[in-house]
Chains A and B, each alone.
Chain A
């Protein structure tokens, strides 16, 4: 069995009086692809954002690769990390957003190299070379000098994946990466994600693509109202869900 990459124990999060996560227990092992499904407002995206500390958790314990997210434990106390230290941990986790969030004032190549250059202070030549290689890998070798506005949604999302990969992360988080795309562009992005999974990347994917979850996912989690309702191998959860909320959700979307 591989080592544990992400571990959550009783993770809770609320925005004001609204409880978004009500005790999440979950484990992702290195090399595993975990897909999270569920109705909107279930807390999937919030949980994903907690993993790289874009949201602070209120209760529970969340670790990535054995290190607490956002805190340092020392003699029975939790010390909040500085902005720089949080950054150093985030640099090891790639994140892909629903709305791409590419930097519009930079070309595709500048988008993918800004992290290695400014955060990891890498040599410009090496960073550029790897940037080109990553863009080639996502099938955009000819779009190196294009600005995001000049690219289609699917191309933009593939640049966003290349941007995350250029940081050589040990974990990739995908927040509904295909939800903002035209249907015919979805498959390009899913193909890139599939090849990443084949290479053994650890991935947590919030998605509505049941086909992708079934084929690529090693495990599947169904969330509703801030709790994990059901989890297990994708095929069994999708074909024979045990919980009635899962059954109701799946019958509505399949």
Chain B
């Protein structure tokens, strides 16, 4: 079994150039509220504050409910007009997650890793 890349923890607002995470093929873990979902294309749009991201969910078997919080792990694809779409390989409903605690902990985690 090939080793799989870990999805780096990012906030949606960080997914803009020149962020090191905003690269074609980067493995990411993103979290946001489901705003839109197109059944035909299996493209979902998640939002967090003012930021949003398209997520390709065609490989997932997930009950996508508008307004719920979802977390996806996958690879970021940058299409020619700099639009980003995450090709998700794993997703899950995270309703009930404390998003403020999540953001604060993410920062603590990064500080800890940077200090190693």
A and B are interacting partners: no
| Residues on B facing A (Cβ under 8 Å) | none
